[in-house]
Every structure is written in C-alpha cells, then in structure tokens.
C-alpha cells in the first residue's frame, strides 16, 4: 500500500472515530446502528423506519434468499448486515478498514445473538476472500470512499459467484459541469466526510461494464432520500452554534467542525443538481455475456 493510500485510510478512520458523537446525536447511531440517508416512502414516519427501508432496498434489488452468502462492503457499525442476516436467514460478512467500527459491529451481533454474520477489518479493494465466494455484494454509501472505483468493482467481480448480484447505493456526480464556486462546494463536502471524490454516473456505468458486469440498472431515489437531505440541513445552524461552544471548551476538533458544515454543503450541492443518489444493480457476467 502506498503512503498516500495509508494516509487516506488514516483520515477515514479518524473521521469516523471523531464524528461518532455527531452520528449518535443526530442519527441516533447507538440505537439505529446505521450510517446512511434512509429511504422515505409515503407513510414513513421516523428516521428508524427510513433506515430500515433503505436496508430493505438491498434485499429487494439483491434478491436475497435464505442460505445466500452476502458481503457488506464498508459495513459501518453493522446494522444492515445484522438486520439482513436475521430477517432473511442469509450469511453476511461485513468488512471495513475501521477497527473502531468493526468492534461495535461485533458487539451488536453478539448482543442480538446473530450467529450468521461476521465482521473483519479488510480493505474492500483488496479483500482476503477466495474467488467466487458470494451470491450478493452490496455497498451502502461506502463505494464513494474508493479512490479507484474500477479497482473496487474488479475486486467485487472476483469474489462474486457467476451471476452474483451487486447492489450499490450511493452519491454520484451528475453530468452537470460545475463552475468554480460549485466545484468548491463539492470539494468542501467530500473533504468534510474524508472522501476523495464521488464517481460520475457515466464513468461508473462504464467501469461496471469494463469490469465484467451485465444487466446494469440505475435507479434514481433522490425523492426518497430528500427528507434526510433536509433533515441534515435543518441541523446545520444549531449545529454550528453547539460546535462553537464545544470547541471553546476543547471538547471538539477540526474533524467535527468540518462534519457539521457537511450538512450545508450536501444540501447546496443537491439543490444545484450536482449530485444524484442512485441505486446501481448489476450481475457478474460470464463468457459470452455482453
């Protein structure tokens, strides 16, 4: 691993460790165990319901069935992996570069007595799994952290069984050409979450094809995640005040300062049409597939 990549991974680890308190306060991480936007349908009343319904999108589009073996690529604190293993009687392996989060995921699985889920510290671009081990691979707001998205997709293709399913739920740059001011908004947003950059939709779709995936489908769910976009934005102004007071008391640092401001940048960038939230579904192809 290059020194630059080590530094990048270190920044990601530091971000999630230091921002944990923010997620516990705003996203109820200790009880909901999820680090994604959620999926708001008509009748969805609470954030907990929205988070659960987003995980259900993985099951729906991944066509998860009892006995399937799934891998959660960037599993966070383990909520989706444990939920899917319990509800669908499948086996799930969750991986993350964050030992801090893996320890929480293991504790969650132990507390819920979920024996069909395991968690390990691994780089999802270079896993320790053998070839063709999984029926389903999914990534919920984690593929964006790959510096080289094509490298990630190649590794996913390697560990999937023939006709294995891939489900990616994430932020993607649109075809819009941002001006200098808009690009600065995107840069400040990605930096606030320790992300190198988001993939452009057209580039990601080309990379899926180049790495051997077929039956590629893109599903835009901007409407379904917009309540969370607004929720974060509404937290921004009181968050700035609270952050200032805590930093004066030396209880918060630069990472938290940037994390609070991410709520503003994600909203402004969304309103300018600079990003979409998409679900990508694809299958691992084989000889003769096009």
Under the banding of pLDDT at 50, 70 and 90, the label for residue 290 is low
The pLDDT, as a whole number, for residue 239 is 80
Within a domain: residue 67?
yes
Query: What whole-number distance in Å separates Cα of residue 197 and Cα of residue 186?
Result: 9
**Sequence-distant (≥ 6) Cβ neighbours of residue 94 within 8 angstroms:** 71, 72, 75, 78, 81, 102, 105, 117, 118, 119, 120
Give the phi and the psi of residue 147 in degrees, each rounded to 5: -65, -45
Under the banding of pLDDT at 50, 70 and 90, the label for residue 250 is low
Within a domain: residue 44?
yes
The widest CA-to-CA distance across the chain, in whole angstroms, is 64
Under the banding of pLDDT at 50, 70 and 90, the label for residue 249 is low
Closest CA to 213 of 142, 290, 149, 132: 290
Closest CA to 120 of 100, 144, 102: 102
Within a domain: residue 130?
yes
Within a domain: residue 188?
yes
Under the banding of pLDDT at 50, 70 and 90, the label for residue 178 is confident
Sheet holding 160-173, edge to edge: 117-121, 91-96, 69-73, 134-140, 160-173, 275-284, 213-220
Within a domain: residue 290?
no
The dihedral sign for the CA sequence 99, 172, 62, 221: positive
Does an H or E element contain 138, and which?
A: strand 134-140
Within a domain: residue 289?
no
**Residue 217 pairs with which residues in a beta bridge?**
281
A 10 A CB-CB count for 113 gives 7
The dihedral sign for the CA sequence 94, 100, 106, 109: negative
Range of the domain at 80: 3-284
SS3 at position 114: coil
Within a domain: residue 8?
yes
- Give me the number of domains the chain comprises: 1
Torsion, Cα 38 101 149 11, to 10 degrees, reads 110
Under the banding of pLDDT at 50, 70 and 90, the label for residue 242 is confident
SS3 at position 9: helix
Within a domain: residue 177?
yes
A 10 A CB-CB count for 116 gives 17
Give 2 or 20, the one with higher predicted confidence: 20
Query: What whole-number distance in Å separates Cα of residue 176 and Cα of residue 273?
Result: 7
SS3 at position 134: strand
Does position 181 have pLDDT exceeding 70, yes or no? yes
Does position 104 have pLDDT exceeding 70, yes or no? yes
Q: What is the mean pLDDT of the chain?
A: 95
Query: What whole-number distance in Å separates Cα of residue 94 and Cα of residue 106?
Result: 10
**CATH number assigned to the domain comprising residue 76:** 3.40.50.150
């Amino acid at each position: 691993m290059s020194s630059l990549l080590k530094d990048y991974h270190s920044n990601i680890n530091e971000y999630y460790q230091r921002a944990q308190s923010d997620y516990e306060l705003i996203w109820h991480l200790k009880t909901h165990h999820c680090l994604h936007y959620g999926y708001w349908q008509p009748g969805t009343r609470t954030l907990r319901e929205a988070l659960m319904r987003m995980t259900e999108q993985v099951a729906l589009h991944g066509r998860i069935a009892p006995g399937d073996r799934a891998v959660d690529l960037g599993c966070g604190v383990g909520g989706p992996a444990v939920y899917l293993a319990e509800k669908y009687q499948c086996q799930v392996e969750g991986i993350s570069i964050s030992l801090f989060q893996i320890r929480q995921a293991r504790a969650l699985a132990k507390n819920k007595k979920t024996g069909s889920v395991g968690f390990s510290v691994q780089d999802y671009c270079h896993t320790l799994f053998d070839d063709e081990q999984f029926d389903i691979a999914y990534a919920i707001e984690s593929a964006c952290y790959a510096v080289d998205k094509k490298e990630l997709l190649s590794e996913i293709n390697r560990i999937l069984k023939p006709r294995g399913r891939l489900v990616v739920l994430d932020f993607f740059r649109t075809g819009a050409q941002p001006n200098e001011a808009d690009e600065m908004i995107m840069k400040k947003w990605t930096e606030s979450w320790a992300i190198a950059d988001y993939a452009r939709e057209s580039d990601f779709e080309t990379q899926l094809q180049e790495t051997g995936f077929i039956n590629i489908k893109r599903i835009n769910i901007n409407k379904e995640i917009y309540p969370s976009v607004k929720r974060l934005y509404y937290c921004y102004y009181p968050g700035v005040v609270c952050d200032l007071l805590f930093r004066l008391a030396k209880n918060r640092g630069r990472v938290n300062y940037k994390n609070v401001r991410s709520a503003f940048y994600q909203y402004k960038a969304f309103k300018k049409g600079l990003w979409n939230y998409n679900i990508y579904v694809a299958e691992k192809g084989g000889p003769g597939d096009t």
